[in-house]
Amino acid sequence: MNSTVTVNEVLYPVYLLMLGCFISPVLGEVASLYVSSSISIGASILMIYISIIAMTSGGLGVGEFQLLTGISSAFSEVFRVSSYGFEVSVDGLSAFFIFALGIVSLASSIYGISYIKRYVGLESLRFYSVLYPLFLMSMYLLIICSDVILFIISWELMSITAFFLIAFEKANKVAVKAALKYLLMSYFGSSLLIIALVIISSISGSTNFTALRTVVFEPTVHYLIMALIIVGFGIKAALVPMHSWLPDAHPEAPSNISALLSGFMIKTAVYGVIRFTFILLGLNHYALGLMLSSLGIASAIYGTLMAIIQIDSKKLMAYSSIAQIGYIFLGIGGGLILYPNYLGFIALAAGLFHTLNHAIFKGLLFLTAGGLIYRTGSRDLNSLGGLAKVMPITYTSGLIGSLAISGMPPLNGFVSKWLILIPLLISGHPMLVLYAALAIFASALTTAAFVKYLARAFFSSPKNVSVGNVKEVPLPMALAMILLASLCVVLGLFFYIPFNMASSAVANMITYSVSYTTITLQDLTPVLYVFTLLTLGIFISAFIAVYLTASHKLRLTPVWTFGTKDLLPKTLGLNAHSYYREFGSTYSFVYVLRSYVYELVVRPLCKWSTKLARSYYDFVDIYLPTTLAAIVIKPLWRWFIGLGRSYYDWVETYLPTVLAVITALLLILIIASYLGCVVWFLST
Amino acid sequence: MDVVGRILKILEGKVSNYKVINSGNVIIDVRAEDLVDVVRIITEELGGIYSVIVGNDARRVDGTFHNIYVFSLDSLKTYLLVRVRLSPEEPSVQSITSVVKGANWGEREVRDLLGINVLNHPDPRRLVLPDGWPDNVNPLRKEFNYQTRPQLNCSTQYTPIRSEDVVALPYGPYHPLLHEPEYFELHIKGETVVGVEYRGFHVHRGIEKLGESRLTYNQIPFVAERICGICGFVHNVCYCQAIEGASGIEVPERALYIRSLILEIERLHSHLLWLGVACHILGFDTGFMHAWRIREPIMNLAEALTGNRKNYGLNLVGGVRRDVSKDSVGKVIKILKNVRDEYSRFIKGLTALKEVVKRLEGSGILPKAEAVSYGVVGPVARASGLKRDVRVDHPYAAYKDVSFKVPTYSGCDNMSRLMVRVEEVYESMSIIEQLLDRLPGGPILAENAEVPEYREGFSSVEAPRGEDVHYVLTGKYSKVYRWKVRAPTYNNIPALNVMLHECPLSDAPLTIASIDPCFSCTDRLIVVDVRSGKRFKVGLKALAKGWRP
Amino acid sequence: MVPQYLVALLTAFLLALLVPLLDGVERKYVRARIQSRVGPPIIQTYYDLVKLFKKELLIPSTASKLFILAPPTSFFVSIAALFILPYSLSPSLGFEGDIILLAYLLVLSSLTSLLGGLASGNPFAEVSSNRELSLILASELFLGMGLAVIALKYGSLRLHTVSTNLILLPSVLLAYLTLLYYAFIKSVRTPYDIAEAEPEIASGYMIEYSGPLLAFLILGNLTRRLLVSSLFTVITFGPVISMATSPVNVEVLRYTLNAVLTISLSIIVYLSLGVVSVIHGRYRVIHALMSIKKYTLIPITALILAVIGF
Amino acid sequence: MSRLSWVKTALEVGVVTKKYPYEDVEVPEGFRGLPEFDAVKCIGCTSCANVCTPDAIRVVEDVGSGVRRLEYRVGKCIFCGRCAEVCPVSAITISKEFELAYKGEVVHVIELRYARCSVCGKPFTTSKHLTHVEGKLSEVIRENVDLCPDCKRRVSINSIIQSAGAVR
């Protein structure tokens, strides 16, 4: 381990961000924004640096996270257990995720500098300045921690900060509602997680990740844990049956926050699944793979099908986030099913690669949508239009982002999708092949969705918004977009670099047999040829374009509408409603199915549970205890363990009951919150 | 006379005075205040179908303005012309659009061209006159010289009616589909049309005024022929019949037969042309080409019989100019036989194409009730289950002597409109054969065709597109006092409002074409611009220069 | 290895330059013949292109730069696609999963021209892009299923592998059929040219294009047409051809022979697709989608067959 | 597959279009093309101008230079052939010429000298017209035919008066 970064320096971003959220309250509104933003920028750069170092040196060792040690020791006094600190470590996987986090947070922090200013006077910028670094910190901590409790704490911290950020526009009822829906569902998820983790650590007798590697479960527990973990993380990842919070929550948050949410927060679930299920616990990869890939393809198809019928730019993107997460899980699930076949390795690595890519272009797209909101104040695709000429940078980055997410070569989206598809297709596993075929369809749907976004936002005639006084977004926002856009191109053209990163990350967590290899990077050199050819083609066409405009006599004409001028109505062409109506009516059964489910399952549940939990406070005071519980429970736990150690036979009888008690306790909370959260289905 | 008796009985006490003009058409005078009731009675009890409104500045005849509302009483085989006399100073009359939707345009046109004010009209926008035409200048009033060109001032502006958040697509004035400048504004939801806004008369050239001012009786036929770009002969015949009727000229049998003959030939080539265009609109260019291939011999036939492919220039008041020779009769029979075979093969091939049939069926629905209310004519009416055909309801020329059936469909959609035309082609062929084998001898032009002053003539002809109507009031110095033309398309276009509703965008062009619109007829425009020059052959070289890049 | 690629690139360019001639042949000997017309001279398309290149550049005032950039780009993208296609069936060309890359390039090429049209800001371009994308949606599902079958049976998605060993199974044959129909859909002729539909939406996304840009657009479309028919040919007739030419043991000779055979076969496919399109009317949008949906049963049955081992 | 019937038809029918203008197209007998004016036959009676609907034939009385000018503007002609019908001396023949595309306007002019009144010397019609009429009239009334309408009236009144005087 010849790393230039000692493991404790890994914590510098954390300290930095903490500093940020401590000092910003004492500053003025705008000053606090500047400070916290710049601090987060610094932190993000640090993260990127750390991740690169870590990846080059194959991970950093284990260290102690001192800050919470005090608390834990206090508890240890109370419960008479030996003092304890939380361990952090950075291995290839964490490094990869840190890289993604670093990039997205960098962009969104830069973007936030001027974007959040539109809330001056409306909302408290201090609040934002405190929450934003906290949010980053929680996510970062989540990635680096190697301890169950720290994991839970940062997980809860992330959820709650995210909640406040989503509900940032307090005046906006819709936003608050969406935020609550998110809060409840993610709370429900996390309580499942807590149960799972409690069981795990009770069995392993330690909360340290390294300790978890050794545990073995009897089948029932094994599958219970699997189910709990998948649902728990699935809610955060918004996999399809558990997705309903995302399309409401992401659009309502400030755009750079939406970028972070879609760009990274939902990816933490990906991280969690990988980390726990088969790195630590080595669960039955086949069953797990089947579940994940099935959920994945379901989300991919559902998300895109919903995306193409949206008329709200950010909702459209939110749905496509569901779809892309689906893609990622399809890759990962495939990777698990095909284990130990080398194809699985590719699929898994590609899944990770797609995580990074999606973080980049979805972040980018949300930022462009934010740009539109910033200038026109609208995200309604019916009223937008014709902004290409007045907002060239936003438009160009939107174009690149859309092409990238549609998986158009030579941009980054293509390679990861392609590398997910191939192994599944040629694996010969019928289900995976079918899934891959559907995935091709899903990517076509994505294309359609984002062409709609481009067309209605940038190209065709402006509808209700007057583009006359619209200007390009201010510099910081533009910079952020340019950063991500150029990354889309670079990571596309030099796709082997991130793919190597991903594959090394996979390589040092599970070992695939390299017996049956069809794709190696050497085989991909022809792809490079094609990409070079494409880039060349684009350059040549650029030259041609320049040449034509220079050489030919060029005439500007009004758009040809068959010779009518004065008679024309304000709204020409299609509005967002009109897009893909024919497709919808041809393949209507999909949408019909959805509405059936909604009518038969969701509505009754809502009716039945609306009387529970009317207001927001009810939930918070259901909520807070568990966050505390998460912190309190650990020493409690060790206490049980200690007892257990000393009175072994007694433990034999005692542990299960304790488990039962805690599980029951949590279950009650879960049910209560679940009923509550169902209320907010109403707002789908 | 029982027809007249019946009409008078039903309109008890409302008719101040009546007259029977040519071929048994009845013209009655009613008081302006009774008009709306009279119209209601006519439509409801006599089953009259609106045909046209003739406005007339008759101040030099009897010192009043005339508004003549013409209804076709198909059951009684007569036209009923309801005349109201209006004060010369402030001519104004109640609108009857509430009773017959079809009258909408007629009233607006009368308002525009004669300044006859129409009270509580549902849509009092300008129809004929262009934007910026000065307000109280009415071209058809006698004091308006046909050569004056008033100064345009852009105070008046045409305002389309549309709901606030409508999403619209402009069709025309210069659309690849429309071969003449017309503006349709399709209001769409997705690919479905939910409303349409029409703006026409871009090219009005005031032929009526020209006829009233400069031309003599025997010159007008040549102008009338150029009212329409395809079926000009019907106007030509219709005008001559009106004059002949007005002045009681006896047209020789043979002339009548020749007229019918040419009319049917015209119908043939017009329908085949339409079929071709329809195929093209359906994206089936092969059908387009073959339809026109089949049409070509018929054009040559017309050329051989009359001396020109399109502008036959055959009619004069009192007969025709050119006789049909023996050998050409044989030729016609021969060609027709071949065309019939080709044609039936064409139709078989066309109806075998699933996608084409699918697109035709169920698009562009025009329910029967609407059809009656709009007073649509010709194939459009027959496709909506109205069995009306001027050749049967008001026989003219030689049609009383031939037997043929009137194809009627109740599908009310584009398919039925197509099928009606398809069958009519067969009917026309048989009609032509019948005419030819009982072609009588004798002269072809009436001797001493004298036209007395101030007689009214009214005549109608079944054009390929439907009922074409001419009204004349003869005048001094062998010139008409008033000549009113109403082309079939004039009554059919307003019905597009109904047809285009809920019609897929892809089929909107087809639906517009399904009335076989002849905008130039509607606008009464001459579309001839023959730039001729000194006699020289276009050399290959000269041509090659301009032809290749 | 590299010279092989250079040859491939040259072939691609050569074909792209020869496509107008092919179009001319179609216009004179397919379309005009079936419509009983004399028809234009065979090199008419070249005349058109040359004339277009000479013409001035009309650019809508609302258009963005993409409007100018798109047509050449879409042309070069389709050339890149041609470049992937191994006409010579030589093993050193291509790579695992190049079929999918090809499919993506196809979509990209048509997408580029669509975006260019959209960039003009013309309402009819919008309508047509809506239509074209609905078509792409339906047809990609179609293609995905077809490829799935091939992948299942060959255990590979490398054009070379697929196009050199022959597997005679009902499922594979159905997959071939699927590809043929896909080629028909993608070669934007009637009845699937709803996105251009001159009488309805005035040739949709092309409405604002004129002069050199239009020329590029036309070239791109024609190249794509050839591309899809060649894709079908290489996959379907590839095995037969490679078997036929296997006796020839001079490599270069064999590859050239292969190339000649595949290219001529794809030209035949191109023209016969032309014949099919001439005797069709244009679909209504909904009908086009419906028809594709109906035909999706072919690959689905194929997939089922493939899974149960036929 | 009844679609293929189209191909069948096409193959049977063959190519029907012509390579016009590289090939000639013949027009049938009695085709109404460009009217041709025979300046020698024409007597300038102006009846063609009277029937001409589009005013393609116009009469210009150019007393100064002593000629009546008939102008035929090809650009305005609608080729109805009425002029040929009414021409008393059939100086107008309708040719089969139809390829008339030409840039600019072409006018055919026929000039005919006036016949001057033998008494007052005022021009009143063309001399050719006069001779034509003379040819049609009988010996008895052929006298005074070379007088302009006014003179003729005066002369005939005088002669009546004289004859009355003779009776008295």
Question: Looking at domain B207-523, what is its CATH homologous superfamily?
Answer: Cytochrome-c3 Hydrogenase, chain B (1.10.645.10)
Task: Scan residues 142-171 of C and list those with Cβ closer than 8 Å to A.
Answer: 143-145, 147-148, 151-152, 155-157
C37 — contact with chain D (CB < 8 Å)?
Answer: yes
Q: Show residues of chain C in contact with A414, CB under 8 Å.
A: 104
Find the residue in B nearest to A579 (Cα): B190
Whole-number pLDDT of residue A80 = 41
Answer whether D17 sits within 8 Å of C34, measured CB to CB: no
Query: What ipTM was reported for this prediction?
Result: 0.80
Interface test with A, best of B165, B192, B506 (most A CBs within 10 A): B165
Whole-number pLDDT of residue B453 = 85
Closest approach of B430 to chain A, Cα-based (Å):
43
pLDDT in tens, B91-133: 888 888 888 888 888 888 888 888 888 888 888 888 888 777 7
Find the residue in D nearest to B226 (Cα): D78
Query: Which of the pair, C170 or A629, is modelled with greater confidence?
Result: C170
Tell me the CB-side half-sphere exposure of residue C284, using CA atoms within 13 A. Answer: 25
Q: Which CATH architecture has domain B2-160?
A: 2-Layer Sandwich (3.30)
D138 — contact with chain B (CB < 8 Å)?
Answer: no
- Where are the domains positioned within chain B? 2-160, 207-523
Chains near B, with 3+ CB pairs < 8 A?
A, C, D
Tokens, residue B399: 């049609």
Closest by alpha carbon to A631, among A37, A154, A29?
A154
Query: Which of the pair, A389 or C276, is modelled with greater confidence?
Result: C276
D93 — contact with chain B (CB < 8 Å)?
Answer: no
User: Can you give the pTM of this predicted structure?
Assistant: 0.83
Residue of C59, C76, C293 with shortest CB distance to A586 = C293
Q: Cβ atoms within 10 A of the Cβ of D167, count? A: 5
Whole-number pLDDT of residue A654 = 43
Q: Show residues of chain B in contact with D8, CB under 8 Å.
A: none
Whole-number pLDDT of residue B265 = 92
Whole-number pLDDT of residue B294 = 92
Question: Which segments of B359-424 are extended strands (E)?
Answer: none
C61 — contact with chain D (CB < 8 Å)?
Answer: no
Whole-number pLDDT of residue B504 = 83
Whole-number pLDDT of residue D142 = 67
Answer whether D9 sits within 8 Å of B290, measured CB to CB: yes
Query: Which of the pair, C256 or A551, is modelled with greater confidence?
Result: C256
- Nearest-angstrom CA–CA distance, A321 and A238: 9
Answer whether D10 sits within 8 Å of C275, measured CB to CB: no
Whole-number pLDDT of residue C1 = 52
Helix, strand, coil abundance in chain B, percent, nearest 5: 40, 20, 40
Q: How many residues are recorded in chain D? A: 168
User: Are C25 and C43 spatial neighbours (Cβ–Cβ below 8 Å)?
Assistant: no
Interface test with A, best of B167, B169, B203 (most A CBs within 10 A): B167
In the 8-state DSSP scheme, what is residue C205? G
pLDDT in tens, A440-461: 989 999 999 999 899 888 887 7
pLDDT exceeds cutoff 60 at C200: yes
Task: Scan residues 250-309 of C and list those with Cβ closer than 8 Å to A.
Answer: 285-286, 289-290, 293, 303, 307
* Structure confidence at residue A86 as a pLDDT band (50, 70, 90): low
- Where are the domains positioned within chain C? 2-307
Q: Show residues of chain A in contact with B174, CB under 8 Å.
A: 562-563
Give the pairing type, strands B480-486 and A60-65. unpaired
Whole-number pLDDT of residue A467 = 65
Share of chain C above pLDDT 70, in %: 99
Chains near C, with 3+ CB pairs < 8 A?
A, B, D
pLDDT exceeds cutoff 70 at C55: yes
Task: Scan residues 69-88 of D and list those with Cβ closer than 8 Å to B.
Answer: 74-75, 77-82, 85
Whole-number pLDDT of residue A515 = 46
Q: What angle do CA A676, A682, A684 make, to 5 degrees?
A: 120
Q: Show residues of chain B in contact with A566, CB under 8 Å.
A: 157
Answer whether A569 sits within 8 Å of B162, measured CB to CB: yes
pLDDT in tens, C97-134: 888 888 899 899 989 999 998 888 888 888 888 888 88
Find the residue in B nearest to A383 (Cα): B165
User: Are D139 and D124 spatial neighbours (Cβ–Cβ below 8 Å)?
Assistant: no
Interface test with D, best of B532, B537, B541, B543 (most D CBs within 10 A): B532
SS3 B423: helix
Whole-number pLDDT of residue A88 = 76
Peptide bond into B221 cis (omega under 30): no
Average pLDDT, chain C: 87
Residue of B157, B168, B191 with shortest CB distance to A572 = B168
pLDDT exceeds cutoff 70 at A637: no
User: Are B425 and B343 spatial neighbours (Cβ–Cβ below 8 Å)?
Assistant: yes
Find the residue in B nearest to A571 (Cα): B167
Whole-number pLDDT of residue B156 = 59
pLDDT in tens, A32-64: 888 888 989 998 998 888 888 877 775 555 555
pLDDT in tens, A459-473: 877 666 566 677 888
Answer whether B185 sits within 8 Å of A567, measured CB to CB: yes
φ, ψ at B509 (rounded to 5°): -60, -40
Q: Show residues of chain C in contact with B359, CB under 8 Å.
A: 281, 283-284, 287
Q: Which secondary-structure segment (H or E) carries B196?
A: strand B192-199
Answer whether C148 sits within 8 Å of A437, measured CB to CB: yes
Answer whether B222 sits within 8 Å of D77, measured CB to CB: no
pLDDT in tens, A357-400: 999 999 999 999 998 888 888 888 887 877 888 888 999 999 99
Average pLDDT, chain A: 76
Q: Show residues of chain C in contact with B356, CB under 8 Å.
A: 281
Q: Show residues of chain A in contact with B507, CB under 8 Å.
A: none
Query: Which of the pair, A586 or B384, is modelled with greater confidence?
Result: B384
Whole-number pLDDT of residue A7 = 58
Q: How far is CA D114 from the centre of its chain?
A: 17
CATH no., domain D29-163: 3.30.70
Closest approach of B27 to chain C, Cα-based (Å):
45
Whole-number pLDDT of residue A398 = 92
Tens of pLDDT along chain B (549 residues)?
A: 577 888 888 887 788 888 888 777 888 888 888 888 888 888 888 888 888 898 888 888 888 888 899 998 888 888 888 889 888 888 888 888 888 888 888 888 888 888 888 888 888 888 888 777 787 888 888 888 877 777 777 665 666 666 666 677 888 777 777 677 777 888 887 778 888 888 777 777 778 888 888 888 888 888 888 888 788 889 989 999 898 888 888 889 899 999 999 999 999 999 999 999 889 888 888 999 999 999 999 998 888 888 888 888 888 888 888 888 888 888 888 899 999 999 999 998 888 888 888 888 888 888 888 888 888 888 999 998 888 888 888 888 888 888 888 899 988 888 999 999 999 999 999 999 899 888 888 888 888 778 888 888 889 999 888 888 899 888 888 888 888 888 888 888 888 888 888 888 888 888 888 887 776 666 543 322 233 333 333 333 443 343 332
pLDDT exceeds cutoff 60 at C280: yes
Q: Cβ atoms within 10 A of the Cβ of A410, count? A: 24
SS (H, E, C) A302-318: HHHHHHCCCCEHHHHHH
Interface test with D, best of C35, C36, C277 (most D CBs within 10 A): C36
* Structure confidence at residue A2 as a pLDDT band (50, 70, 90): very low
SS3 B83: strand
Answer whether C111 sits within 8 Å of A447, measured CB to CB: yes
pLDDT in tens, A174-232: 777 777 778 777 777 787 787 787 777 777 766 677 777 777 777 777 888 888 888 88
Residues D59-63: contacts with CB within 8 Å, 24+ apart? D63/D114, D63/D123
- Where are the domains positioned within chain A? 1-277+610-674, 284-517, 520-554
D109 — contact with chain B (CB < 8 Å)?
Answer: no
Helix, strand, coil abundance in chain C, percent, nearest 5: 75, 0, 25
Share of chain A above pLDDT 70, in %: 76
pLDDT in tens, D108-124: 888 888 888 777 877 87
Q: In one letter, which amino acid is A527?
A: V
